[in-house]
A = this chain, B = another copy of it.
Amino acid sequence: MKVLVQKFGGTSVRDNQAEAIQHIEAALQTGNKVVVVVSAIGRHPDPYATDSLLGLIGVPGETHISKREKDLLLSCGEVISSVVFSNALNAKGIRSAALTGAQAGFITNEDFTAAKIKEMRVERIWKELETHDVVVVAGFQGMTEDGEITTIGRGGSDTSAAALGAALQAEYIDIFTDVEGIMTADPRVVEEARMLDVVTYTEICNLAYQGAKVVHPRAVEIAMQAKVPMRVRSTGSLSEGTLVTSSRDNFAGKDIPDRLITGIAHLAGISQIKIETDTDAYKTQSSVFKAMAEANISVDFINISPNGVVYTIAAEQVMLAQDILRELGLEPKVINNCAKVSLVGAGMTGIPGVTAKIVQTLTDKEIDILQSADSHTTIWVLIKEKDLVAAVNALHATFELSL
């Protein structure tokens, strides 16, 4: 039995139902059975959206229930969604059954509101597929061994879809979104941005982490480990979207230019903090990062040197960070309104001169590079927010991403 997993967001369950069903019908016509994963219906103020259910127990931070009970409440959103969608499929003559996350076999740990999937027990899905063409599974949820309902943390329904795709060894895991696929850059910033036909798991992870919020990295990691190809597709289009697979050699016959850079992501709203110290550099460093961690401030772009430390944080937390650092007797220098640009490409590994090309492109435009960092497949630069549009467009042109 060939199975395809297709994940649809909340707006597809009711408002764009017909479009979602078209995709399912297309998959069935190619001889697959389909396991559909759905999120909660709609968006707030839709009463069945996750945020609306949360609203029933008061404003955030002022609820008076345990995480266990919060999960019980939220899980209803996806259960309602799965039954409504299954009903719509049956109405179209597609034999469908709805299952809760627990019934679909998601066994998690007891870390309520952020539970981790421990095991997938998918026998029930196989059984339902004997008599149904489609099984609709409530995403974002599972059950502990003791029968407690949990919601899963990182990646929500994307992660549910990937875990099912892996457990069922699906032909594809299709993540339907409101965009056509993965773009070479944000089309709101770069007019010439183009959809990518194929990216590697690693590339999409770096693109996603850096602000291209299309599919959750956790879902990609699961698909990668299980070697199940993923497709990022648009509910409103019959295009196959962007294929996510393991390596350039595995691109399903597609003719892909062997480019250095696959895509550029960016994230604004960042502040850089610099602390210089003449003495006790080691002690300063450890006390700074310990204090940040205790205040639950995420740090990024860390450069440590004998003269002190430099790092970035989200703009919202800069006041808090400054207060903490001053309490430690330090004098932080802050540059607000920074942006991080990520150049991602599996093809850059082992190719010299990529960084040089980036530096050349930015200095030609008189754009200051405040910091930089790199891994095998990604180079990051920190620049000022005012330079962001110019920088991303120039880099997009340099690496010929619109071709």
Select the residue from A66, A69, A84, A102 with max chain B CB neighbours within 10 A: A69
Given A58-B87, A103-B147, A147-B102, A53 contacting B80 (CB threshold 8 A): yes
| CB neighbors of B among A115-166 (8 A) | 147-149
Bound: A317/B243 CA distance, A: 60
Given A47-B47, A102-B147, A147-B102, A72 contacting B65 (CB threshold 8 A): no
**Chain B nearest Cβ from A31, distance in angstroms:** 24
Tell whether A287 is near chain B: CB-to-CB under 8 Å: no
Would you call A84 and B72 a contact (CB within 8 A)? Answer: no
Residues of B within 8 Å of A76, CB to CB, are 76, 79-80
**Contact pick for A91, options B64, B84, B148, CB 8 Å:** B64
Chain B residue nearest to A138 (CB atoms) is B72
**Contact pick for A64, options B47, B63, B87, CB 8 Å:** B87
| CB neighbors of B among A193-245 (8 A) | none
Bound: A72/B87 CA distance, A: 12
Tell whether A73 is near chain B: CB-to-CB under 8 Å: yes
Tell whether A83 is near chain B: CB-to-CB under 8 Å: yes
Would you call B47 and A97 a contact (CB within 8 A)? Answer: no
Would you call A56 and B80 a contact (CB within 8 A)? Answer: yes
**Chain B nearest Cβ from A143, distance in angstroms:** 9
**Contact pick for A57, options B58, B79, B87, B149, CB 8 Å:** B87
Tell whether A262 is near chain B: CB-to-CB under 8 Å: no
Tell whether A342 is near chain B: CB-to-CB under 8 Å: no
Q: Write the A87-131 contact mask toward B (1 if CB under 8 angstroms, else 0).
A: 111110000011010110000000000000000000000000000
Would you call A69 and B56 a contact (CB within 8 A)? Answer: no
Would you call B97 and A83 a contact (CB within 8 A)? Answer: no
Tell whether A272 is near chain B: CB-to-CB under 8 Å: no
Would you call B47 and A65 a contact (CB within 8 A)? Answer: no
Select the residue from A76, A86, A97, A100 with max chain B CB neighbours within 10 A: A76
Would you call A98 and B72 a contact (CB within 8 A)? Answer: yes
Tell whether A48 is near chain B: CB-to-CB under 8 Å: yes
Contact-residue size bin, chain A (C-beta under 8 Å from the other chain): 20 to 34
Given A47-B48, A48-B47, A80-B53, A100 contacting B72 (CB threshold 8 A): yes
Would you call A90 and B65 a contact (CB within 8 A)? Answer: yes
Residues of B within 8 Å of A47, CB to CB, are 47-48
| CB neighbors of B among A27-48 (8 A) | 47-48
Residues of B within 8 Å of A79, CB to CB, are 72-73, 76
**Chain B nearest Cβ from A90, distance in angstroms:** 3
Residues of B within 8 Å of A53, CB to CB, are 80
Chain B residue nearest to A76 (CB atoms) is B76
Residues of B within 8 Å of A91, CB to CB, are 58, 64
**Contact pick for A86, options B58, B69, B82, B86, CB 8 Å:** B69
Would you call A80 and B84 a contact (CB within 8 A)? Answer: no
Residues of B within 8 Å of A64, CB to CB, are 87-91
Bound: A102/B69 CA distance, A: 14
**Contact pick for A80, options B65, B73, B88, CB 8 Å:** B73
User: Can you report 12 A-B residue pairs in the complex whose CB atoms are below 8 A from each other?
Assistant: A53-B80, A57-B84, A57-B87, A58-B87, A65-B90, A65-B98, A70-B83, A72-B82, A73-B79, A73-B80, A73-B83, A100-B149
- Apart from A57-B84, A65-B98, A73-B84, what are 15 other A-B pairs with CB-CB below 8 Å? A47-B48, A53-B80, A56-B80, A56-B83, A56-B87, A64-B87, A64-B89, A65-B90, A69-B83, A69-B87, A72-B82, A73-B80, A76-B79, A100-B149, A102-B147
A-B pairs with the 10 shortest C-beta distances? Answer: A64-B90, A47-B47, A76-B76, A73-B83, A57-B87, A64-B91, A65-B87, A69-B98, A69-B83, A56-B84
